[in-house]
Amino acid sequence: MKIALLGTGLMGQALVEHLLNENQQITVFNRSAEKTSKLLDLGANGATTAQDALKDSDFGILMLSDANAINEVLDQIAIETFNDKVIIQMGTIAPEESRQLAKRITESGGRYLECPVLGSLPEARTGTLILMAAGSESDYQSALPLLQLIGKEPKYIGNTGQGATVKLAMNQLIAGLTSSFALSLALVEKEGIQTEQFMEIVRDSALYAPTFDKKLDRMLTRDFANPNFPTKHLAKDTKLFLKVANQLGLETCALEGISRLLEISLSQGLANTDYSALFSAVIEKQ
């Protein structure tokens, strides 16, 4: 397979490292060229434009931050370059944004598959991401050999937009679980209760989620450096969920409070830290 990957941020870099370990031929492009240097040293081919990255590839993977970034990169590519190529969109965007991308690419002669991922850097580097694909089933089958390198059991959700919807739903759970745990932990800490005593009760209950232990040490030590998923991305995804949910007439007041906590974290200079930095917002009432 000849693969182009457009967008070499944290997740893009980790995914390229994995695909190179799987002996795949991959060309990378990033708007900030310095973010590709490590990947070139590892054996990836570099391209100075998105057009050059995609032109000789069978698959194009979009690993970009939002729909605006995606369209900015696609604007650099000549329409004929999309002809019969499978473009796989793996970022977190709104369902309607994904449907508009599908329209743009198919009208250019390409094939579009949305396939947002759940997991972080360790899963990207080991090919164990959870994949939520949606679009044409024939395009899904064409991309399946590649998807199986990225995640063990890719899931075909249905029509374009439905994979994006499930991804937003999952990221809302990330925000909800993390903020709820942060608030409970802060309360216990303020009252001088031993953290491990509290955690033993939590682990023995039906309320336990593995993410609690994954984030526990970061919260206790206030060490949010070296993120797998930065706070700024969770803040962006939470706002995106709110926009979509409000359009569908859902009551979002609970998530609006979490979104405010995320904004407080950003105001504390924690945008590029791990999203467990929500704890910092909880313990410092504004």
* Cα 96 from chain centre: 17
Alpha-carbon Rg for the chain, nearest whole angstrom, is 20
Residue 253 pLDDT exceeds 90: yes
Q: Is 72 or 284 the better-scoring residue by pLDDT?
A: 72
Between CA 230 and CA 242 the distance in angstroms is 19
The answer on 279 and 194 residing in a single domain is yes
Contact call for residues 17 and 42 (beta carbons, < 8 A):
yes
Per-residue pLDDT tens for 235-248?
999 999 999 999 99
> Residue 271 sits in a domain of what CATH number?
1.10.1040.10
Checking DSSP bridges between strand 130-135 and strand 117-118, what pairing results, if any?
antiparallel
Does 154 score more than 70 pLDDT? yes
Residue 169 pLDDT more than 80?
yes
192 and 210 in a single domain? The answer is yes
Q: Are residues 11 and 118 in the same domain?
A: yes
DSSP string, 232-256: HHHHHHHHHHHHHHHHTT---HHHH
Task: Provide the token pair at 28.
Answer: 């990378």
257-273 confidence digits (pLDDT tens)? 999 999 999 999 999 99
Q: For residues 37 and 31, what is the distance between their CA atoms, to the nearest angstrom? A: 12
User: Which one of 159, 180, 201 terminates a domain?
Assistant: 159
DSSP tag of 272: T
For residue 152, the model assigns a pLDDT of 85
- Do 206 and 97 have their domain in common? no
- The model's confidence at residue 76, banded by pLDDT at 50, 70 and 90, is very high
Share of the chain above pLDDT 70, in %: 100
User: Which has more pLDDT, 284 or 45?
Assistant: 45
Same domain, residue pair 103 and 196: no
- Give yes or no: residues 170 and 151 share one domain: no
Return mean pLDDT, the chain: 96
Q: pLDDT at residue 142 above 70?
A: yes
Q: Is there a single domain that holds both residue 6 and residue 142?
A: yes
Residues 231 and 134 in one domain: no
Say whether 268 sits in a helix, a strand or coil: coil
pLDDT reported for residue 284: 80
Q: How many domains does the chain have?
A: 2
- Short-list 87, 92, 82, CA closest to 136: 87
pLDDT at 286: 65
Q: How confident is the model at residue 285 (pLDDT cuts 50, 70, 90)?
A: confident
The predicted model gives 41-46 an average pLDDT of 95
* Span 198-226, pLDDT tens digits: 999 999 999 999 999 999 999 999 999 99
Structure tokens at 252: 């979002």
* Domain final residue, candidates 116, 141, 159: 159
Q: Which of 6, 285, 267, 179 is nearest to 15 (CA)?
A: 6
Q: Are 112 and 87 in contact (CB under 8 A)?
A: yes
Q: Which residues span the domain enclosing 200?
A: 164-283
Q: What is the CATH number of the domain that holds 105?
A: 3.40.50.720
pTM value surpassing 0.85: yes
High-pLDDT (> 90) share of the chain, %: 95
Based on the fold, state whether residues 155 and 168 are members of the same structural domain: no
**The domain boundary residue, chosen from 140, 159, 178:** 159
**Residue 14 and residue 122 share a domain:** yes
Verify that 174 and 146 share a domain, yes or no: no
Judgement on whether residues 201 and 138 belong to the same structural domain of the protein: no
